[in-house]
Structure 1
Amino acid sequence: MKKDNKCVDINVSANVGECAYSRGSTPIADEGDAVIRVPVELAVLNIRTNLAAKIKFPEPVLEIKDIKKRVQIVQCKLLLPGVAAGTDPFVEGSYHLFIKGYVRKNIQYASPCYNSGVCVNSEMRSLTTDVPFECVVEIAEDDFDRTPQLPFQNARAEFDFFRQQDLGHGYPEKDHFLSSDLSQFHQDSSQFYNQMPYCELISSRITEWDEALDRKPFHNSANWQEGTFETISEKMFLQFTVKVLQNQQVRVTAL
């Protein structure tokens, strides 16, 4: 027997017909002649944080030749509280911005492959690693260029109908069971699809200090100042600028 995988009988539960409509409205921040939806700048923030890490190389390192760095943000969320439908969503206040990312580092270094006691032959290698960071920034009310539009809250409300039922055998005929019907469920719900704020990374600057922790000099070598290490201690002062935006409907004066 072939199993019927259909969970909805569209011949019974669905209908295609004519839809009615009425004019709707959405919150608008400004006054003007034309209404457009555009990304608006909520705030521009210069964020500073400190990072510390230990990096271990897979082989001995004679010296570091170059380090290329890039800041990469993987999460930038402005946490906004919800408001009830029908109220003003443009409420001034201080809100929190959650930021998570990492500094991608590509370290180019020389690794010795031969030491004659007079000269050292090396091979150029590279190591790529990510140094993570995570922080929370509280944006003060006065630091917003424009007020964020708070999300409208979804709502669900249940309602029941009165039902009178006979009590059955063992009860007087004039007595009845008075309550709602447990075999029925009634609900009115509403959902709002709000515009979520987002971020753009504008610029970054990194000041770093890398220092070897286990450097050992070469023995029995005329190059007494030469040596190798496998672990470095890294400290970074990270500065970057992010722009927080949100799609909002605004009125503009058409030219």
Structure 2
Amino acid sequence: MDKDFTCKSGVIESETLTECSNELLTPKGINGPFVGKVPVVLAEPVIQIDVESVIQLDEPALEIKRIKKNLFITQCKVIETGYDFDRDCKSPRKGKLFLSGYVRKNIEYATVDCTNEYKDGISGKIKHTTVKVPFKCVTDIKFDVPPVVHATGETKQIALFNDNIKGNDYCGQEIIGSDPCEVSFIHKEFFNEKIFCELEEVKIFEDDILKDKFECGSKDSFTFDKIIEKMVIFVRLKLLQKQQVNIPGKAQDHDNDKKKYR
């Protein structure tokens, strides 16, 4: 019986949609002044990360067809270090940013399955290898807006007053003063908003060097199974912290504008 070479592909259904009408409404909100708690941008650093790695392919490759890259952050931790050692409070507050993550790379490459008898034709398959190239670094940060930090206070002891202490203490005399039988304490603990990060932009510049080359068919054709990769990565981050800010209303803005021109 002859094979049926009729294709089953085709358009099953198609419909042209009509345009829907809409009405634009003006957003409304609270007319200040009032206090809001919003993420405040503390700093926006651009960090350069230099990485060199060796990647092993699953099979010998004839050539690299395409490399797709995506960067992921796994740690973005800020430790505030205060002002400089000269204690100049006019200088910006500083900190250290601990950054780590990886670049996920999908490498598509052509393999060699066979060559013709004249060794001028090569055939093979397209395969891929996916790897995670890790990175880790620490960098200095200068805050454009300082983070709000409240330190936990020391525990304080409170002496209780008593004007009629009787018994076998102090030779059995009546004493006016601190009660030795009862003590109170005050402990204050402040909770601060964490500094968190947002990934804004990534730029990756790379150079790939082919390693462990083997001749394939002719002198001008060779395969390889290792890649030495050098990357220069630029990462732009936003460091934010939720803070309470005063939000003025329209009337207050108008009054401030009048004062400027007086």
User: Unpaired runs of 5+ in structure 1?
Assistant: 1-31, 83-90, 167-173, 175-179
1:79 touches 1:96 (CA, 8 Å); kept in 2? yes
Cα distance change on mapping 1:154 and 1:200 into 2, 3 Å: same
1:71 touches 1:204 (CA, 8 Å); kept in 2? yes
Counterpart amino acid of residue 233 in structure 2: L
User: Unpaired runs of 5+ in structure 2?
Assistant: 1-31, 83-90, 160-166, 172-179, 251-262
Partner of 2:54: 54
Cα distance change on mapping 1:224 and 1:191 into 2, 3 Å: same
Whether 1:147 and 2:146 are equivalent positions in the alignment is: yes
Tell me how far 1:216 sits from its aligned partner. Answer: 0.9
Distance (Å, rounded) in 2 between the aligned partners of 1:104 and 1:186: 58
Identical-pair percentage: 34
Counterpart amino acid of residue 66 in structure 2: D
Tell me how far 1:252 sits from its aligned partner. Answer: 1.3
Distance (Å, rounded) in 2 between the aligned partners of 1:203 and 1:110: 31
Cα distance change on mapping 1:225 and 1:252 into 2, 3 Å: same
Tell me how far 1:131 sits from its aligned partner. Answer: 1.1
Distance (Å, rounded) in 2 between the aligned partners of 1:123 and 1:186: 79
**Secondary structure of the equivalent of 2:233?**
strand
Distance (Å, rounded) in 2 between the aligned partners of 1:37 and 1:146: 15
The alignment of Structure 1 onto Structure 2 pairs a total of residues equal to 197
1:156 touches 1:187 (CA, 8 Å); kept in 2? no
**Secondary structure of the equivalent of 2:226?**
strand
TM-score of the superposition, structure 1-length normalised?
Answer: 0.67
Partner of 2:206: 208
Tell me how far 1:244 sits from its aligned partner. Answer: 0.8
Matches within 5 A, 1:67-146: 67-80=67-80, 92-117=92-117, 118=119, 119-140=121-142, 144-146=143-145
Instruction: State the Cα RMSD in Å.
Output: 3.1
2:81 touches 2:93 (CA, 8 Å); kept in 1? no
Counterpart amino acid of residue 122 in structure 1: G
Tell me how far 1:116 sits from its aligned partner. Answer: 3.1
Higher relative contact order (CA 8 A, sep 6+): 1
